[in-house]
Amino acid sequence: MQEIKKNPPLWLSIIPLVILTVMLVSVVLAFGSDSLSGASQIALLVASASCITLGLLFKTMKWSDFEYEINRHIGDLGQAILILLLIGAVAGSWMISGVVPTMIYYGMQIISPQWFLVSTCVICAIVSVMTGSSWTTVATIGIALLGIGKAQGFHEGWIAGAIISGAYFGDKMSPLSDTTVLAASTTNTPLFEHIRYMLYTTVPAFILTIIIFVFMGLNHGGELTNQIGDFSKGLSQVFRITPWLLLVPVVTLLMIIRRLPAIIILFLATLMACITAIFVQINLVDEIAGGDAGSLMNRFRGVMILLYGSTSLDTGVPELNSLVATRGMSGMMGTIWLILCAMTFGASMKASGMLRSIMHIFVSFTQKTFSIVASTAGVGFFSTVVCADQYLGIILTGNMFRDIYKQRGYESRLLSRTIEDSVTVTSALIPWSTCGMTQSMVLGVSTFVYFPFCFFNYLSPLMTLLLAALGYKIKRCVKPSTSTEAA
């Protein structure tokens, strides 16, 4: 039996990537904004099939290698899938219960259009720091801010960009964030030392982001008071608006402060909203059920539908109708479908050894400070693109460069910071990644639409490259040996 080769040549390794790129470009040209509805998933599966076929033909893998990797990749998704389903339930229950409409109603009166974008970014940053989760931030306060922004006449790409920029500031900097903890632990860096060191790149990137949003907000005309009035009237006609509904997000925030697990927080937030819907928006529950109004079983049916199914309400304002429509848990199935297909491609690339071969090309350039940081950022972003998951990107990059940084005499916090700047914040910009697909589905805004406006998400890696080029606050622990440099 021929021995399995574990290091496929580079030319072979890039073939699945070329196939995936060609197919994705074709899909975007053919389907446009609907490219993530199924065609992209097929492209990922075709690329996976080509990778597995080449791996088997050229003896770089066994079928059992792929089975092992696909089981491990998808097995690790269990908690993420459950969170996605709960996010769908939160979105449906918070909307029909009137929680989000109430937040939109009062938010339109409080937040000035000129300061809306910067307020959105800062609010999401604060909430995300407290929650440690960009997903939770976007699924709760993010949806309400999207409604306020649309009422004030902002393009949905600008609104989503402000929301995601703020949400990923907290996802990157919060000690409660799993990506922050993972980046620190993978590189053997003390957590708070890792967070403090990230301030050198994160603060300038966030300040520049704030300046951009302030400038755009001040140039936004405040003449859309009629649209704000229409939104307010439409919400008050369909939903019962009362400040008491704000108790639901307040209690949710208290649970966040108490550092309860995300799954528990989302479940209890959904439960509170369902109870609220029964007592406050009972007419809407009956309308959704569509049966005998007033019966206990009919209301039970209505609550179940708002959790798992699609709902649509007529507010008299077409733009508002699309905003208050919900898709529940079933609306997250497209996201889960895409994630599974992306994970299949990542598993096939790793099992065949092709991912490792391509990543070693980046490693070969790690000689000077800038090159080692740029190579780390390149591997981090590339692995996230291929594996479609920020956790895998962090782990792969950390494991690959940990010894290299040590041999070169660089501090581990430089590695951990570079990983966060290149993986955590850029994951939301990749349409087929877990983060990109989740934010797109929750907000109802295509990744291709909000991508140009997520300034913080691509200013962060640029800032880390700039500081590496300048050598600012980058220390060498020991002088690298001659043999190491030669390597």
Question: Which residues neighbour 255 within 8 Å (Cβ) at sequence distance 6 or greater?
Answer: 264, 265, 268, 269
- Contact status, residue 131 vs residue 174, Cβ threshold 8 Å: yes
Tokens of 257: 């402060």
Most confident of 254-263, 323-332, 423-432: 423-432
Q: Check: CB of residue 322 under 8 Å from CB of residue 310.
A: no
Q: Answer left, alpha or beta for residue 241, where phi above 0 means left and psi between -120 and 50 means alpha.
A: beta
Residue 481 pLDDT greater than 60, yes or no: no
Rounded Cα distance, 459 and 115, in Å: 21
More confident residue, 404 or 462: 462
Tell me 243's DSSP state.
Answer: G
230 pLDDT more than 80: no
Contact 164, 439 (CB under 8 A): yes
Q: DSSP state, 228?
A: H
30-69 pLDDT, tens digit each:
876 566 677 878 888 998 999 999 989 888 888 888 888 8
Contact 388, 343 (CB under 8 A): yes
The owner of tokens 């996230």 is: 384
What pLDDT, in 10s, does the model give residues 366-408? 678 888 898 888 888 887 887 777 877 787 787 778 777 887 7
Averaged pLDDT, 324-353: 81
Say what the pLDDT of residue 293 is. 64
Residue 37, pLDDT score: 73
Please report the pLDDT score of residue 123 as a whole number.
85
CA 470, CA 462: separation in Å to the nearest integer? 12
Average pLDDT, the chain: 81
Do the Cβ atoms of 327 and 29 come closer than 8 Å?
Answer: no
Share of the chain residues as helix, strand and coil, in percent rounded to the nearest 5: 80, 0, 20
Q: Output the pLDDT for position 482.
A: 42
DSSP codes of every residue in 386-408: HH--HHHHHHHHHHHHHHHHHHH
pLDDT of residue 464: 93
Count the Cβ atoms, other than its own, within 10 Å of residue 2: 5
| Whether the predicted model's global pTM rises above the 0.75 cut | no
Joined together, the tokens standing for residue 434 give: 């877990």
Is residue 99 very low, low, confident or very high in pLDDT (cuts 50, 70, 90)? confident
Split at pLDDT 50, 70, 90, the class of 274 is very high
Residue keyed to tokens 């429509």: 325
In whole angstroms, how large is the CA radius of gyration of the chain? 24
pLDDT at 136 over 80: no
At 348, the pLDDT band (50, 70, 90 cuts) reads confident
Confidence (pLDDT) at 452: 92
Q: What's the confidence (pLDDT) of residue 27?
A: 79
d(CA 368, CA 40): 38
Q: For the residues 102-124, what does the mean pLDDT come to?
A: 83
Residue with tokens 């909203």: 273
Phi, psi (rounded to 5 degrees) for 320: -75, -30
Coil/strand/helix, residue 372: helix
Q: Return the pLDDT at 39.
A: 81
Q: What is the mean pLDDT of residues 152-174?
A: 89
Contact 279, 156 (CB under 8 A): no
CB-based contact 92:216 (threshold 8 Å): no
User: Does 1 score more than 60 pLDDT?
Assistant: no
> What is the pLDDT, as a whole number, of residue 358?
77
List, for residues 282-295, the tens digit of each pLDDT value.
Answer: 888 888 887 666 67
Under the banding of pLDDT at 50, 70 and 90, the label for residue 3 is very low
Q: Is the pLDDT of residue 111 over 80?
A: no
Q: What is the pLDDT of residue 366?
A: 66
Predicted confidence (pLDDT) at residue 459 exceeds the cutoff of 80: yes
Q: In this prediction, what percent of the chain has a pLDDT beyond 70?
A: 89
What average pLDDT does the segment 403-432 reach?
86
pLDDT for residue 294: 65
pLDDT for 53 equals: 93
Which of 394, 417, 414, 391 lies closest to 404, judged by CA? 414
- Of all residues in the chain, the percent with pLDDT exceeding 90 is 15
